[in-house]
Amino acid sequence: MTPRTPVTTPAGAPDTADTDDADSTDGTVSTDGTGTVAEATTFVGLTLDRHVHASDRAVNLARDVLSGLAANPRELPPKWFYDATGGMLFDEITRLPEYYSTRRERAILDDHASDIAAACPADTLVELGSGTSEKTRLLLDALRAAGGLRTFVAFDVDESTLAQAGRSLIAAYPNLAVHAVVGDFEQHLSHLPSGGRRLIAFLGGTIGNMRPAKRGEFLRALREQCGSTDALLLGTDLVKDPDRLVAAYDDGAGVTAAFNRNILTVINRELGADFNIRGFAHVAQWNAADSWIEMRLRAVRDQRVTIDSLALAVDFQRGDDLLTEISAKFTRGGITAELADAGWAVAQQWTDPESDFAVTLATPSTAPTAAPI
């Protein structure tokens, strides 16, 4: 069973609770300090579930770094960008002139949140990879206006981001139960709180960080978790002029470069490595064949990196690449086809006037299509 930590925050009051060591490992439900057992589904205020603990994090990072550096080509999963600094750098990216996608998606949600709420008047909004939950408010407002909103489930790998977002949300929505779940959406989907009618939002284009086979697996797993009245709201970046795409991932101010290199800082700190971040250049390229942007770190000189926790030394020759992220770009038809393959029927699809970004609302189709053999 999963440790569950009700954070003792009266609705609407400023939250001073410390969530750091508040979880119990025996799986019991803690009390809220008044002697009342807090139920995740009814507790108004902030509840936190941890599926990833600080100790798992080190183990998972070690495993990913070990296999990623042994692979050819070398590769690291982009989820490791997002420590507190990485989250701040990503926030900064969303405000860059070159990085259009956050603004485009927000414009779509601004225009269509009420259509979304009308099509799926959910009592629970679930946001996967919620980050700072900023755009979420547009959806929360629309669902609240539609009448039945009770619970917001924020699902993210980074606990500090979640706790912060959760606190500001309960202050803004005093009658909302905010359920923060620390987890990895590639592993812990089956732990999503169930019950009621759920709108599951996966925004920002984050699905583009997965390769097509992974996306299929993910969408099928999500479909299996969903009942007939649940719906998926999926944000995807669209194919466009490669120059604009590359600029969005290689901005003039160098924020994306700092974001990219931050993955090395995370590994240095958490695995006792000695990456010299100035030894790696930021590279962003459009891969037309696979329809994705690739972000790489390229060794600017020959160098040896040691990783104490792994008892590992890794040699880089000048020009060697480390792939840190793919960010796939879609077509409207491609999105519909991938969803259909995974058992989802598109109910509605919206784009901004420039067709830079798409937001798709999909519902479970009668039966998920079998995975290809």
Enumerate binding residues for ligand AVJ (CB under 6 A): 93, 101, 204-206, 208-209, 249, 256, 259, 325, 327
Nearest to 351 by CA among 343, 341, 359, 339: 359
State the nearest-atom distance from the C-beta of 299 to ligand AVJ, in Å.
Answer: 20
Shortest separation between residue 254's beta carbon and ligand AVJ, angstroms? 12
Cβ-based nearer residue to ligand AVJ, 124 or 360: 360
Q: Which is nearer to ligand AVJ, 101 or 124 (CB)?
A: 101
> Which of 4, 282 has the CB closer to ligand AVJ?
282
Helix (H) or strand (E) holding 115: helix 101-119
User: What single letter denotes the amino acid at residue 18?
Assistant: D
What minimum distance in Å lies between the beta carbon of 315 and ligand AVJ? 27
Q: What single letter denotes the amino acid at residue 168?
A: S
CB of 338 to ligand AVJ, least distance (A): 17
Q: Are 123 and 152 in contact (CB under 8 A)?
A: no
Work out how close the CB of 86 gets to ligand AVJ at its nearest, in angstroms, rounded to a whole number.
Answer: 10
| DSSP notation for 228-285 | TT-EEEEEEEB---HHHHHHHTS-TT-HHHHHHHHHHHHHHHHH-B---GGGEEEEEE
Give one word for 106, left, alpha or beta, with left for phi > 0 and alpha for psi -120 to 50. alpha
Output 179 or 329, the one with its CB closest to ligand AVJ. 329
Q: How far is the CB of 143 from ligand AVJ (least distance, A)?
A: 23
| CB-closest chain residue to ligand AVJ | 327
Q: Classify the C-alpha dihedral 92-97-98-100 as positive or negative.
A: positive
Is the Cβ of residue 101 or residue 161 nearer to ligand AVJ in the bound state?
101
Q: Which one, 45 or 205, has the nearer CB to ligand AVJ? A: 205
Pairwise CA distance, residues 241 & 239, whole Å? 7
